[in-house]
A = this chain, B = another copy of it.
């Protein structure tokens, strides 16, 4: 089973083309603060001269930046780098990295892309501390906010746990809830965050160009015996999802150090 790629925001700039080069140069300027959040970009005519490209090429690059939510273009008002307030539609509580899905009144939904049983990749078996020949359920889901995909999730769950819930339940409920309902005693989780590029398949599903940047999160959830009960490989659109936290500097003298400010009323969500 494979869902049709979402094409709402997909603007494909051929790699190696002039438009892609201009796109990367403007992205570089946005990232490095030459074109800071909220600021107006130079007029199109000036940008064409600065970057040595035609209006058509510039506009294709701007189309891609707009599709990825990095700029706003309004007739008569020029082009502005999007202010941070408009950008991240989702954020995660940094002290736990558990995204808060039930915030800001936005509706999130999930779409099941694939669902199967088989042996896990060696690294997944290794991280979960399960036999490399043990059967696991592998599921790939998209998570959407207001109908737009912002994360691509691949989860691995040992078969004896996964048999407690159905494919259709997985499409509608957070996996975490299903695990707890299955009697799993979740004890710890190890997480790691990094960055990668969107390959053709993921780019299609998330409505991005191939080669667009993605935030990655890998998580192994363990039970009281240290056995892996879930392995999550998550890919997030960085324009729609950020990890945020506040630290407080506490203590005195040599004992002074940073501590995360934890929001005790945070919603609990799984991915």
Q: Which residues of A are interface residues toward B (Cβ below 8 A)?
A: 14-17, 20-21, 24-25, 27-29, 31-34, 36-39, 83-84, 88, 94-98, 121-124, 126, 154, 186-202, 210-216, 233, 235, 238, 241-249, 257-262, 268
- Whether B200 lies near A247 (C-beta < 8 A) is no
Output the least CB separation between A151 and chain B (Å): 13
- Whether A199 lies near B39 (C-beta < 8 A) is no
- Whether A33 lies near B123 (C-beta < 8 A) is yes
Output the least CB separation between A34 and chain B (Å): 8
- Whether A235 lies near B31 (C-beta < 8 A) is yes
Q: Give CA–CA (A259, B264) in the complex, Å.
A: 10
- Whether B246 lies near A121 (C-beta < 8 A) is no
Q: Please tell me which one of the listed residues B20, B214, B245 contacts residue A15 in the complex, with CB atoms under 8 A apart.
A: B20
Main secondary structure of the interface of A (DSSP, over half): mixed
17 A-B contact pairs sorted by A residue (CB < 8 Å) = A15-B16, A24-B210, A31-B196, A33-B121, A33-B123, A33-B154, A33-B233, A36-B122, A38-B123, A94-B191, A96-B260, A193-B242, A194-B242, A197-B197, A197-B211, A211-B211, A213-B213
B residues in contact with A37, CB < 8 Å: 122-123
B residues in contact with A196, CB < 8 Å: 27, 31, 195, 213, 238
* CB closest residue in chain B, given A190: B246
Q: Please tell me which one of the listed residues B32, B36, B238, B245 contacts residue A191 in the complex, with CB atoms under 8 A apart.
A: B245
Q: Give CA–CA (A246, B189) in the complex, Å.
A: 6
- Whether B215 lies near A38 (C-beta < 8 A) is no
Output the least CB separation between A250 and chain B (Å): 9
Q: Please tell me which one of the listed residues B27, B187, B201, B244 contacts residue A248 in the complex, with CB atoms under 8 A apart.
A: B187
- Whether A121 lies near B39 (C-beta < 8 A) is yes
- Whether A189 lies near B247 (C-beta < 8 A) is yes
B residues in contact with A262, CB < 8 Å: 259-260
Output the least CB separation between A237 and chain B (Å): 9
- Whether A242 lies near B192 (C-beta < 8 A) is yes
- Whether B202 lies near A32 (C-beta < 8 A) is yes
Q: Please tell me which one of the listed residues B14, B238, B260 contacts residue A95 in the complex, with CB atoms under 8 A apart.
A: B260
